[in-house]
Structure 1
């Protein structure tokens, strides 16, 4: 299959490209404008393992300017991961970047896919669309985002459904729950905690640490996402992709102290703005439709992320990224 992955140089996108290439017969075209500062610093290093692969081609291009008709020719599947992530930066004037890259870009890509013989258009969304929900959340829950970022991703979902119902674009929506692991973005909590600890800096903590998350290891997430390519009965579906374990942020800090052998000093950086206190994914639909079963424990996933951080000091918290 000819598969296009937008946001290919990013955290999850790079792991997804690797997972897709493990399946014989897949040709993967990765596209990334590298708009975020950290990607401009590290370049395509997230893709080092596959840059020379005979079935992988990378385009460093702005998705708003690209010739989609040419690129989509003979494409079987589009995975749309590109966009501006993050809750805390989505307020104020910065929201314009989210509108451009999460809403306008998605609409333009859907418009380009209209009338093409695609098998699937996979839109990667987020648990942020749910807002504050008590207990385990299924895909049937009414979305109620708490942040402009969540609003931008939910708008992308609505656009996907409009183009599916009116134009026949074969959409599948995946909602990720707090993905972590090697190559994690520098604004994400685990990344910040690990590099701050390794560099003998205080940990900056938002909230009181009792907030809990359904943590999803990036390798499990990539495998679930790749499985959509060959799955049947998924067109038009919205599917949660959650993890193997839930934990509080205080639990995570204790685990990192034990793994690194370093005590931590905590600086409270403010409360939670635009974020729920707890998330918990019902992944029964992913189990049924994708054969998904997360394998990596939280302790093992953290160990792998710490090992990656030790190996790649260029991503340390106080660097240019």
Structure 2
């Protein structure tokens, strides 16, 4: 059965993939973004009257609109708060007033911060201790959703993706740098990361998880972590890039990424059990699709 979905951040990396999936299966999508475009209505999350106007017939929300990572707007923390916290509050209130069926919010593993020492596998219920304003804004959005659920009965869920890559990603990303440098004949050098673990997930797997959360009949939890299933060092990422692009010349130094959290492997069994989530795109397959997209843009 199809329904009318309000999709925020529809021009963004994850929003575009969600938009495509919902449209392909026949849903009526009210796609909005701060900057409009083809099939996308221009609407900032602060424009409350426009939100209510556009969402007149919506029965659920998939909320992907946000400052999209700790590397974005680093010098403008107030903008992050306005977009990610106040914007989320505006949507939750819209859903409450309109008695919508469900709100699915795209959060981030940045909400965790550095994961607790001694854990080999990190469940969703560990304390959130974000180390950036971006991470704090995502944690705040999750707590707001929890409050609306407990006090007002709003059916909502937060999905926490790991590092997202794939066609459409234009912001800073180690994978993006490695691919672009290889395609341009440049050497990639990071003064860190040889033994630094990072968890990547392809954008299409994230979009699939959000749609699964939208469709689930019952959600035993209000937060789920989503990864690509791997837990690998940047050295291993570099080797996979070289397998896809043999001309790649990548060197890495020792130590952790100075602007990233140190995180143990995330447990995705809750998403597998409750949502039916399975990461379907291997790193090599995802790198090939991303490299092709980046090459076409050149």
| Same-fold status (TM-score > 0.5) | yes
1:100 aligned to which of 82, 103, 106: 82
Q: SS at 2:199's partner residue?
A: strand
Q: Is the 8 A contact 1:181 1:301 kept in 2?
A: yes
2:145 aligned partner:
160
Q: SS at 1:64's partner residue?
A: coil
2:31 aligned partner:
30
The separation in 2 between residues aligned to 1:32 and 1:206, in whole angstroms, is 36
Q: Is the 8 A contact 1:147 1:275 kept in 2?
A: no
2:67 aligned partner:
84
The separation in 2 between residues aligned to 1:218 and 1:79, in whole angstroms, is 15
Query: TM (normalized to structure 2)?
Result: 0.90
Deviations 1:41-72 (A, max 9, x none): xx85xxxxxx5xxxxx4202222125222222
Q: Is the 8 A contact 2:45 2:90 kept in 1?
A: no
Superposition deviation, residue 204 in structure 1: 4.7
The separation in 2 between residues aligned to 1:89 and 1:223, in whole angstroms, is 24
2:21 aligned partner:
19
The separation in 2 between residues aligned to 1:90 and 1:142, in whole angstroms, is 25
Report how many aligned residue pairs link the two structures: 292
Unaligned runs of 5+ in 1: 35-42, 45-50, 52-56, 314-321
2:55 aligned partner:
72
CA RMSD, aligned part only? 2.3
1:10 aligned to which of 6, 9, 12: 12
Q: SS at 2:110's partner residue?
A: helix
Deviations 1:153-210 (A, max 9, x none): 1011111112222222221111111121111133122112211221123325263332
1:225 aligned partner:
210
Q: Is the 8 A contact 1:90 1:148 kept in 2?
A: no
Q: Is the 8 A contact 2:193 2:252 kept in 1?
A: no
Query: TM (normalized to structure 1)?
Result: 0.84
Q: Is the 8 A contact 2:103 2:157 kept in 1?
A: yes
Superposition deviation, residue 126 in structure 1: 0.6
Superposition deviation, residue 231 in structure 1: 0.5
2:110 aligned to which of 106, 128, 142: 128
Superposition deviation, residue 95 in structure 1: 0.8
